[in-house]
Amino acid sequence: MKRAVDGNRFARPGRTPREARGEQLPVSIDMNPMVDLAFLLLTFFMLASSFNQPQAMELVLPPPPEPDEAVMEQPVKESKALTLVLGEADRLYWYRGITEPEVQESTYGPAGLERLLREQLAATPDLVVLVKPLDASRYANLVDVLDDLGRAAAPRYALTEAGPEDRRLIEALARSGENKNGEINNQAAP
């Protein structure tokens, strides 16, 4: 009978090395350290990272007046007023002044409204922009206008309700469709 080679840990007395290779001891792995490490890593990354914060546009509004105080409005000079009226179907109308204004149409974005705002601000440094969304306008258009005001660095603007005069001006422009020269009223950039 042959003896197993010394140094072979599987060798048992009376077994050949070939028989000893076929036998394997049961493997036992302790999983507790791995689970502990997984939970430590999970906890670390949860505490060390920040979750996505909801993105919201901040509007700074003045505090509401006290009930017993009279509300005083600051008058705006007619020459320093630019009114933007947000219409339905992504239409944007604008006019300068207050009495007998000439309503024109523009587009949103850098080539339209932002360019218009930069030109008007360069011509009139103390310009006050009045933003008047109609009921049929979209919220995305209001966000676009506020973005364009920010990019153009407009120092003073106000969000107000569109009055009956604004609606009348827009309806008159829609009915005519042409200005005095017979051209379509469109202030969009080429």
pLDDT block averages, 10 residues each, the chain of length 190: 52 64 76 94 88 73 73 73 89 85 86 90 88 90 90 88 87 70 43
Question: CA-to-CA distance for 31 and 41, rounded, in angstroms?
Answer: 16
Per the CB < 8 A criterion, the answer to whether 17 and 4 are in contact is yes
Burial class, 54, CB count within 10 angstroms (exposed 0-12 / middle 13-18 / buried 19+): exposed
**Domains along the chain?**
81-176 (3.30.420.270)
Amino acid 21: pLDDT: 66
Amino acid 181: pLDDT: 41
Name residues whose C-beta falls within 8 Å of residue 185's C-beta, 6 or more positions apart in sequence: 103, 104, 105, 173, 177, 178, 179
List beta partners, residue 158. 130
Nearest CA to 74 out of 128, 120, 141 is that of 128
Name residues whose C-beta falls within 8 Å of residue 158's C-beta, 6 or more positions apart in sequence: 128, 129, 130, 131
Per the CB < 8 A criterion, the answer to whether 147 and 66 are in contact is no
Residue showing tokens 């979750």 = 51
